[in-house]
Amino acid sequence: MTPAGLRWPGAGWLPALRLGRGAWLMLVAAALMAVTVLVFRDLPRYRLPGRPLLTDPAFQDGLAEWQQHGLVRPDRAVPGRVVLQNREPTESAWLERVFELPPERNFLWLSASAQARAIKPGPQPADRGRIVLAQIDALGRLQWQRPHALAELDGTSSPQSFNAVFAVPSTIPQVMLGLHLRQATGELMVEGLRLELVRERALFRLAATSVVAAWCLLAALTLHRLRRSLEPFELQLWFGGACGMLGGALMLPASWRQVVLEDLGRGLALPGHIVGPLALALVFALLAGLVRLGRPEDRLWLQLTGWLLTATAAEVALLTIDHLPQPGRWLFAVAGSLAGLTAIAISRRLMPWLEPSARRPRRRRK
């Protein structure tokens, strides 16, 4: 996938290795991938403890500030424990509370210890014992498609500890903390419930920004060289437009991107969280198809590997906005690349004029 004439850093420092430009690209990408994993997995990310949002975790004041339904009671024998019971599969027991958030991007650390006793799940996947932190948008709608579940329990279990950090964009003004036993019979016991507003460490932000910048630079350099190597010139125009669409989508602020996706979703009668991955898949399909059409002499596995790395670079770049990796979005980009390569392969069989022999010779670049 690496075009002719592209000289990667380090290619002249170790001439004894005699590696091709494609091999140097793989080495640089592998090194970046290793650094990315180390930064986002092993480097401490948040400053704990944070600012408590739940001011009465022991339920000493009862459940006056909570909304409840069904058999819900604090356990007087164990301070800080609340018990939910449900005996009928058609009924529910739940405890919920809404918290206001500052008008900025927030990180919420939620922890609890939970124990299930003879919980029989209901007909839906969510019909079990659950601890959730759901986001509420400006229109008051619960965003269940976003990550929200801290724990899901059924059957009988010993006490288990759970904790997680939920990234909440600046467009979300409220969150709902809930203990649910919806259409599931049994007993759910929760204690040690804590909800805190935490901040990212400065060292992590510096390392993460450096990694994202390196991925974006690698992807931009590769795509730019690819565009210049395409023939005829019309392919360069189409490829440049598709790259502009991809770059604009990656750099668009979260609030603007959410509005655009919701508007597109209403126009296409699709959920907003599906429109984004579909659009990403279409852009990658167009990019992969244009490169395959303009560079048919490249090996297919090399082009596919290049698009895998480009999809990884796009996902890492989106970490600066979403702060949580989404494997499904990366799979959509890879599927789009495969679809673009497959479409060109089928088109060449059906339309002989797309064969390289029928195209005009490539201009030699200095």
The string of pLDDT tens digits covering residues 17-53 is 454 565 676 777 778 878 887 887 788 888 888 899 8
Cβ(101)–Cβ(175) below 8 Å:
yes
Considering the domain architecture, whether residues 100 and 191 belong to the same structural domain is answered as: yes
Query: CA-CA distances (angstroms) from residue 107 to 29, 46, 54, 201?
Result: 30, 9, 14, 12
Cβ(66)–Cβ(81) below 8 Å:
no
Structure tokens at 224: 């730019």
Question: Using CA atoms, how far apart are residues 130 and 105, in angstroms rounded to an integer?
Answer: 25
Question: Using CA atoms, how far apart are residues 318 and 169, in angstroms rounded to an integer?
Answer: 13
Q: Per-residue pLDDT for 62 more than 60?
A: yes
Q: If pLDDT is split at 50, 70 and 90, which confidence band does 4 have?
A: very low
Question: Using CA atoms, how far apart are residues 175 and 114, in angstroms rounded to an integer?
Answer: 21
Q: Is residue 39 part of a domain?
A: yes
φ/ψ (deg, to 5) at 244: -65, -40
Averaged over 247-269, what is the pLDDT? 66
How many other CB atoms are there within 10 angstroms of residue 87's CB atom?
Answer: 11
Average pLDDT taken over every residue of the chain? 78
Q: Per-residue pLDDT for 109 more than 90?
A: yes
Q: What is the pTM of this model?
A: 0.66
Considering the domain architecture, whether residues 254 and 156 belong to the same structural domain is answered as: no
Give the bridge partners for 96, in sequence order.
67, 178
**Sign (positive/negative) of CA torsion 213, 216, 219, 224?**
negative
Q: Is residue 363 part of a domain?
A: no
pLDDT at 358: 43
Q: Per-residue pLDDT for 154 more than 70?
A: yes
pLDDT in tens, 217-252: 877 777 777 777 777 777 777 777 777 777 766 666
Considering the domain architecture, whether residues 60 and 195 belong to the same structural domain is answered as: yes
Considering the domain architecture, whether residues 76 and 98 belong to the same structural domain is answered as: yes
Winning range, highest mean pLDDT, from 151-165, 257-271, 344-358: 151-165
Question: Using CA atoms, how far apart are residues 301 and 292, in angstroms rounded to an integer?
Answer: 11
Question: Using CA atoms, how far apart are residues 289 and 297, in angstroms rounded to an integer?
Answer: 14
Considering the domain architecture, whether residues 107 and 162 belong to the same structural domain is answered as: yes
Considering the domain architecture, whether residues 66 and 30 belong to the same structural domain is answered as: no
Q: Per-residue pLDDT for 325 more than 70?
A: no
Q: Per-residue pLDDT for 15 more than 60?
A: no
Q: Is residue 10 part of a domain?
A: no
| Residue type at 323 in one-letter notation | H
Considering the domain architecture, whether residues 219 and 160 belong to the same structural domain is answered as: no
Q: Per-residue pLDDT for 310 more than 90?
A: no
Q: Is residue 9 part of a domain?
A: no
Of 165, 199, 233, which residue constitutes the final position of a domain?
A: 199
Whole domain around residue 89: which residue ranges?
48-199
> What percentage of the chain has pLDDT greater than the value 90?
15
Q: If pLDDT is split at 50, 70 and 90, which confidence band does 351 have?
A: low
Averaged over 248-258, what is the pLDDT? 64
202-229 and 272-294 helices, crossing angle to 10°: 40
Structure tokens at 272: 């907003």
Of 173, 199, 225, which residue constitutes the final position of a domain?
A: 199
Helix (H) or strand (E) holding 330: helix 327-350
Considering the domain architecture, whether residues 169 and 91 belong to the same structural domain is answered as: yes
What is the 8-class DSSP label of residue 16? Answer: G
Considering the domain architecture, whether residues 71 and 28 belong to the same structural domain is answered as: no
Q: Per-residue pLDDT for 88 more than 50?
A: yes
Q: Is residue 22 part of a domain?
A: yes
Query: CA-CA distances (angstroms) from residue 305 to 2, 25, 172?
Result: 11, 10, 37
pLDDT in tens, 175-232: 999 999 988 899 999 998 999 999 988 898 888 888 878 877 877 777 777 777 777 7
pLDDT at 84: 92
Structurally, the chain folds into a number of domains equal to: 2
Q: Give 175 or 169, the one with higher predicted confidence.
A: 175
Find the angle CA(139)-CA(128)-CA(173) to the nearest 5 degrees.
20
